[in-house]
Amino acid sequence: MARNSRDLDEDDVRLRANPRGTRPRSKQRPAHEDASEGLVTTVDRGRYTVLVDGVEVNAMRARELGRRGIAVGDRVQVVGDRTGAVDALARIVRIAERETVLRRTADDADPLERVIVANADQLVIVCALADPEPSYGLIDRCLVAALTEGIEPVLCLTKADLAPADDVIAHYSALDVPAVVTQRGGSIEALRSLLPGHESVFVGHSGVGKSTLINQLVPSAERATGSVSAVGKGRHTSSSAIALPLPDGDGWVVDTPGVRSFGLAHVTADDLLWAFPDLEDGATQCPPGCEHQSAEAGCRLDDWVAEGHATPDRLAAFRRLLASHTTGDAR
Ligand code: ZN
C-alpha cells in the first residue's frame, strides 16, 4: 500500500512512528515482558556473560540492538534460556542507558574509542611505589579519563615496603584524590573500605600487584578469570575486562588487563576543564579555541588565579593533566 508524503495527515504520521502500523503499542510489549535484568560481566567476540539473579548466563545480542556496543558493566535485559546450562544461549534485547563510560584509544592519534567499562563510578588507579617505578604518565592519563567522565578516581599505591608514598601523594595533593597505600603482605582494609556500594574499575600496569589485590578482595576471582571457567562456558580472554561481584554482594570490582597504553584522543581541553569547576568560569575570558596551556599563548586562566578565584596549585595540576595527553606518548 504505497503512499507518498502529500497523502499523509497528522494521524498517519503518528501511526508511522509505530513500525507495525496498525498494532497498538501495548501489544508490542509482551514479546519481552518476561525479560530478566542482568549485568554484563565479560565480553568475548560477540558472546557475553550476563549475571542474572546469581546465574552466569551465556548470551548473544538480539538483532534488534543493531550495532550498539555492549560493554562489561552494562545493565541489560535478556530473554531466552537463562538456566546457565552449558549449551544455553540467551539474547540481550535491551541495554540500559549508561551512567558513565570509561574509554580509551590505543594511542593519541587513534580515533577508535574502546569502551573499557560502562557504569563504573570509581576508578582505582593501581601504581607501585617501586619495582616498577611509579608511572606518573599513566596516573595522569587515568585521572583525565576518570575526571572527564565524572568517575571518582582513587590512587592505590602498592609496595610501600619498598619505597615511601609521600612524593606521589604530594604530587597529586591539589587534586583531592583519595589515596590508599598498601604493602606486600600487609592489610588492604583501607582499600576494601572504599568499595562497598560502588562499581570500581581497577587499572594499572602489569607488575604493580593489581591481580593480587583483586584476588584478596574477591577470593573467587582467580577461578573466574581463568582461561576457561569451571563449567566450560564464558571463556574469558585476557584482552578484556571482567566484572566481579564483591563477596558481600554490595558492589562490584572490574578487573582490566594490564594496560600498556591509555590513549586520550577523544578528550579535549574543555572536557577536562569541566572537572575543574573553580577554573571553568575563568576560561570564559579566554580567546576562542584557547588550549589553556600558557598566558603567553593568550590563556586568561593565569589572570583568574591572580584575581584569587582559584589557587596556583589547581591551575598547575590542570595544565599538567592537560599536557599528559597533548604531549608525549600514551604510556
Ligand atoms: Zn585558556
Residues 108 and 209 in one domain: yes
Helix H segments across the chain?
10-16, 136-147, 166-171, 189-192, 210-217, 221-224, 269-273, 277-280, 301-306, 312-326
Q: What is the mean pLDDT of residues 247-257?
A: 90
- Sequence-distant (6+) residues with CB within 8 A of 320 are 140
Cell of 269: 581541553
What separation in Å is there between the alpha carbon of 278 and the centre of ligand 1? 13
pLDDT digits (tens, 9 = 90+) for 92-133: 999 999 999 998 887 777 778 889 999 999 999 999 999 999
- Would 26 be classed as within a structural domain? no
What separation in Å is there between the alpha carbon of 318 and the centre of ligand 1? 11
Residues 80 and 159 in one domain: no
* Number of Cβ within a 10 Å radius of residue 188: 16
Global confidence as pTM? 0.83
Domain boundary among 233, 255, 277: 255
- Would 15 be classed as within a structural domain? no
Residues 85 and 44 in one domain: yes
pLDDT digits (tens, 9 = 90+) for 68-87: 899 999 999 999 999 988 88
Residues 196 and 168 in one domain: yes
Q: How confident is the model at residue 3 (pLDDT cuts 50, 70, 90)?
A: very low
What separation in Å is there between the alpha carbon of 209 and the centre of ligand 1? 39
Residue 31: predicted pLDDT: 62
Q: Which domain covers residue 62, as residue numbers? A: 36-95
What separation in Å is there between the alpha carbon of 189 and the centre of ligand 1? 42
Domain boundary among 95, 130, 164: 95
What separation in Å is there between the alpha carbon of 264 and the centre of ligand 1? 20
pLDDT digits (tens, 9 = 90+) for 6-24: 443 333 333 334 344 444 4
**In terms of pLDDT, which residue wins out, 15 or 168?**
168
Residues 208 and 163 in one domain: yes
Q: What is the mean pLDDT of residues 16-36?
A: 55
Q: What is the DSSP letter of 234?
A: S
Residue 248: predicted pLDDT: 84
- Residue 225 confidence (pLDDT) above 70: no
What separation in Å is there between the alpha carbon of 319 and the centre of ligand 1? 10
- Counting the structural domains of the chain, the total is 3
Residues 230 and 246 in one domain: yes
What separation in Å is there between the alpha carbon of 268 and the centre of ligand 1? 13
What separation in Å is there between the alpha carbon of 106 and the centre of ligand 1? 28
- Residue 217 confidence (pLDDT) above 50: yes
Residues 190 and 231 in one domain: yes
- Would 28 be classed as within a structural domain? no
Residues 75 and 131 in one domain: no
Domain boundary among 221, 255, 289: 255
What separation in Å is there between the alpha carbon of 172 and the centre of ligand 1? 22
- Sequence-distant (6+) residues with CB within 8 A of 183 are 158, 159, 160, 161
What separation in Å is there between the alpha carbon of 283 and the centre of ligand 1? 5
- Would 284 be classed as within a structural domain? yes
Query: Hey, which residues does 127 pair with through a beta bridge?
Result: 157
What separation in Å is there between the alpha carbon of 169 and the centre of ligand 1? 27
What is the Cα–Cα distance from 136 to 258, expressed in whole angstroms?
A: 16
- Would 5 be classed as within a structural domain? no
What separation in Å is there between the alpha carbon of 299 and the centre of ligand 1? 4
CATH number at residue 136: 3.40.50.300
Cell of 172: 597529586
Helix/strand/coil for 324: helix
Integer distance in angstroms from the first to the last C-alpha of the chain?
60
- Would 7 be classed as within a structural domain? no
What is the Cα–Cα distance from 257 to 247, expressed in whole angstroms?
A: 21
What is the Cα–Cα distance from 272 to 321, expressed in whole angstroms?
A: 8
Residue 261: predicted pLDDT: 72
Q: What is the DSSP letter of 223?
A: H
What separation in Å is there between the alpha carbon of 306 and the centre of ligand 1? 14
Q: How confident is the model at residue 327 (pLDDT cuts 50, 70, 90)?
A: low
- Would 318 be classed as within a structural domain? yes
Give the CB-side neighbour count of residue 200, counting CA atoms within 13 A: 26
- Residue 178 confidence (pLDDT) above 60: yes
Residues 118 and 224 in one domain: yes
What separation in Å is there between the alpha carbon of 109 and the centre of ligand 1? 23
What separation in Å is there between the alpha carbon of 160 and the centre of ligand 1? 38
What separation in Å is there between the alpha carbon of 274 and the centre of ligand 1? 13
Cell of 82: 537463562
Q: At what angle do helices 136-147 and 312-326 cross, to 10 degrees?
A: 100
Residues 68 and 213 in one domain: no
- Sheet strands side by side (includes 252-255): 179-181, 152-158, 122-128, 199-203, 252-255, 242-245
CATH number at residue 76: 2.40.50.140
What separation in Å is there between the alpha carbon of 303 and the centre of ligand 1? 10
Amino acid 45 reads R
Cell of 138: 599513566
Cell of 184: 606486600
Q: Is 35 left (phi over 0), alpha (psi -120 to 50) or beta?
A: beta
What separation in Å is there between the alpha carbon of 110 and the centre of ligand 1? 25
- Residue 138 confidence (pLDDT) above 80: yes
What separation in Å is there between the alpha carbon of 291 and the centre of ligand 1? 6
Q: What is the DSSP letter of 83?
A: S
Residues 231 and 316 in one domain: no
Residues 182 and 278 in one domain: no
Q: What is the mean pLDDT of residues 244-252?
A: 91
Percent pLDDT > 70 in the chain is: 82
- Would 277 be classed as within a structural domain? yes
Percent pLDDT > 90 in the chain is: 63
- Residue 304 confidence (pLDDT) above 90: yes
Phi, psi values for residue 95, rounded to 5°: -120, 125
Residue 10: predicted pLDDT: 38
What separation in Å is there between the alpha carbon of 127 and the centre of ligand 1? 31
